[in-house]
Structures are given as C-alpha cells and as structure tokens.
Amino acid sequence: MPRAFGTAPYCVAGGPAGPRLILEVGRVVRAHGLRGEVLVDLVTDVESRLAVGSELESDRGTLTVVTSRPHQGRHLVTFEGIADRTAAEALAGLALRAEALADPEALWVHDLVGSVVREVGGTERGRVVAVQANPAHDLLVLDDGALVPTVFVVTCEDGVTVIDPPEGLFEQ
C-alpha cells in the first residue's frame, strides 16, 4: 500500500476549469548559501513536486523551480527570481502548495482525516483524527487514540476507510 500523501492543510481554489484541490506539499525551512538557494522540507513522497519547471503556489504567489537537488533528507531548491540570500531568507517558513495528483492507488491525508474506520467484517472502530508519519508505515490516529498502520487500509471512499487489521490490533 502506498504512503499517504499531502498534509491536512488544503483548500479548494476556483478557476476557469472549475474547482481544484490544492494541498500543502512542503515548506521552506531556511536560506542556504549566498545565491538564493533554500532548504525545502517536503511533506510528500512525490519528489517530482520539485522538478525543474514545477510551479508551486504560496502566500507570496507562484514560485517556479529553477534547480533542485536532494540534501540530507531535504532538498536544496532555487526559485525563479530569488537570486540572493536576502531574497531567500524572506521565504523561510513559507508553505508550498500544489494541485492534488490524480492517483487512484494513493491514500490522501485529506480523504483519510474525518473518515469513519470500519473493518472488512463491519466492526466500526472510530474516526480518523490525524495521520502520523512513521518510518515503517504512516499511522491512522483514531479518535479513541488507537493507531492503525496504513498498510492495513483496503479502501478509502465516500468518507469510509475500510481496514483489514491483524487479530489483536485493537486489544489492550
């Protein structure tokens, strides 16, 4: 099962083509060096979000990626029009957003949070209140505090997340 993508912050933006779901995909951590490069922390496994030419939305307008390279678990990125350290420092803390990708196999945090969790046998287990990042598998955090690895998610449709957990997962 794929990892859950995106984070809970999202919005719907309108345009000539109709409404678009916009998700937070990363955040500028800080400036790096003297030539306008910034350190970006992605909150998605879709590294192509930082491909050269990609456009990311922010509170400062659209930012176009000029260069991008992995660096110690994050990415060093140069955006068009950001040519020196002063301009790069002004981006620190900025949320980066992009349109949701159409991937029927992916689990999306904005679909999971708020959904009712039901086992394949019909037993209801509560509602998802958050998705917690975890090195092995992201975890669904239920309203009663229970944690369910996303690897046990079978489907997530129409506000219902169906899981097939191993025996004993919910025993205390």
| Residue 75 contacts residue 63 (beta carbons within 8 Å) | no
Q: Enter the pTM of the model.
A: 0.65
In the chain, count H helices and then E strands. 2, 15
β-bridge partners, 70: 75
Question: What is the third-level CATH fold of 4-99?
Answer: Elongation Factor Tu (Ef-tu); domain 3 (2.40.30)
At 7, is the pLDDT very low, low, confident or very high (cuts 50, 70, 90)? very low
Structure tokens at 162: 């169906």
Cα separation of the two ends of the chain: 26
Sequence ranges of the domains in the chain = 4-99, 113-163
CATH number of 113-163, picked from 1.10.569.10, 2.30.30.240, 3.10.20.30, 1.20.120.450: 2.30.30.240
- Report pLDDT digits (tens) over 16-67: 544 567 888 999 999 999 999 999 999 887 889 999 999 999 999 999 999 9
Eight-class DSSP state of 89? H
Structure confidence at residue 102 (pLDDT): 74
Using a pLDDT cut of 90, give the percent of the chain over it: 66
- Report pLDDT digits (tens) over 107-133: 778 788 999 999 999 999 999 999 888
